[in-house]
Amino acid sequence: MATLNLQHIDKIYDNNVQAVYDFNLDVKDGELIVLVGPSGCGKSTTLRMVAGLEDISNGKLLLDGKDITAAPAKDRDMAMVFQNYALYGHMTIYENMAFSLTLRKEDPNVIHKKVLAAAEILDLTTQLNKKPSQLSGGQRQRVAMGRAIVRNPQVFLFDEPLSNLDAKLRSATRREILLLHKRLQATILYVTHDQTEALTLADRIVCMSMGHVQQVGTPLELYDSPNNLFVASFIGLPPMNMFTVRFENGELQGKGFTVGLTDEQKSVLAAYNHKEITLGVRPEDIAEGGNMIIRVSTNENLGMNTLVHGNLGNENRITAKLRGWASYKLGDEVAVHFTKMHFFDPETTNAIRKEGK
């Protein structure tokens, strides 16, 4: 396996549209990095540049310290797994997995051993004589992974590999990818638009928007300390509630509600006295009891939690994830308080934090 360094990488297409701006990332040996962001944010373009399927307009790409910016895809020793599997329909699973090695004219006996080993890892041993059309979506994706594994590449690249699967299969295949990573200790670059995948799989997440990297960090860092409004609203399901509030006299005043602050929070917001800020509260950081009232519009029971949608104060839409099974009706009032809050500067959209944090 290997380290990967992306240094000041830009992607500018021929029509002068810039898809990626100054992308910097150091991927450690054996690390699983997830690039996450909405459609069109440049994450797949970045992956394709790493794979050699797109030219890098500016910047450098280093694999184990060696500059491979201009190297053709075939010489990069990376294996890519695509969303649509890209399997050959007329070949059996065995032939699909062996194909890249056959093209490299490797010894058939060596190919056989590699394919069987990969099939064993992916639990595909009994499927080797079947055609891709005879397999389920999850099995096909495992074949695509097997085809990557047999090559024993330095870096694995996954481009939204679970997007074609239904929810149940996605969750199962996600666990398989995680086990595979633990077993192979491979360096993996994984692209997804699904933040659940990002949070569950990644050693570190790169959150992107409009071609810019918004934040790089561990899943907990992105969830707990988002750098800006975009990351705060993108990471987490249901998304974070955002309110425009005013910091006055040591408390936050919103439309129809007031939130008291701790001394530490007051010191964080000291520079924003008498100014508007954006208050972010995750639905799971809202608990029953307190002086704020949610007027319920809908109630979704998830089993051990209940999602309560409604209005806080006059016109603030809010979603709260309350523990237990609740059966609120339209118009019910629920008293709540916030257990954790995030503050953002409305102009820069950056998080407001204590200096040095």
Partner 1 sequence: MSEDRYTVLDRMRFTKNTTSSRLAILAIVFDVLFFISIYKSDVDTYYYTIIIGASIIYNLVFLLAAFLSSEGVKNYNTTYSWVLVILGIIQIARIFIIPMDAHRTIIADSPVMGNAQFVRTIIYLVASAVCLFASAVINWNKSRALKSHVASLEAKKA
Residues of this chain that interact with partner 1 (CB under 8 A) are 92, 94-95, 108-109, 112-113, 115-116, 128-129
- Residue nearer to partner 1 on the CB measure, 129 or 273: 129
Structure tokens at 4: 């990967």
State the minimum distance, in angstroms, from the CB of residue 206 to partner 1. Answer: 39
Q: Judged by CB, which is closer to partner 1: 128, or 216?
A: 128
Tell me the CB-side half-sphere exposure of residue 265, using CA atoms within 13 A. 17
Quote the least distance from Cβ 128 to partner 1, whole Å. Answer: 5
Residue of 95, 140, 101, 143 whose CA lies nearest to 119 = 143
Nearer to partner 1, 115 or 322 (CB): 115
Q: How many CB atoms are closer than 10 A to CB 238? A: 14
Q: How far is the CB of 97 from partner 1 (least distance, A)?
A: 10
| Closest approach of partner 1 to the CB of residue 119, in Å | 9
C-beta of 114: minimal distance to partner 1 in Å? 11
- Whether 145 and 122 have beta carbons less than 8 Å apart is answered as yes
Nearer to partner 1, 94 or 190 (CB): 94
Which stretch of DSSP H or E encloses residue 338? strand 333-338
Q: 32 forms bridges with which residues in the sheet?
A: 188
**Measured torsion, CA atoms of residues 124, 129, 135, 138, in degrees rounded to the nearest 10:** 20
- Smallest separation (angstroms) from partner 1 to the CB of 183: 23
**For residue 12, which amino acid is it?**
I
DSSP state of 346: T
CB nearer to partner 1: give 104 or 112: 112
Neighbours of 317 (CB within 10 A): 12
The residue (of 102 and 298) whose beta carbon lies closer to partner 1 is 102
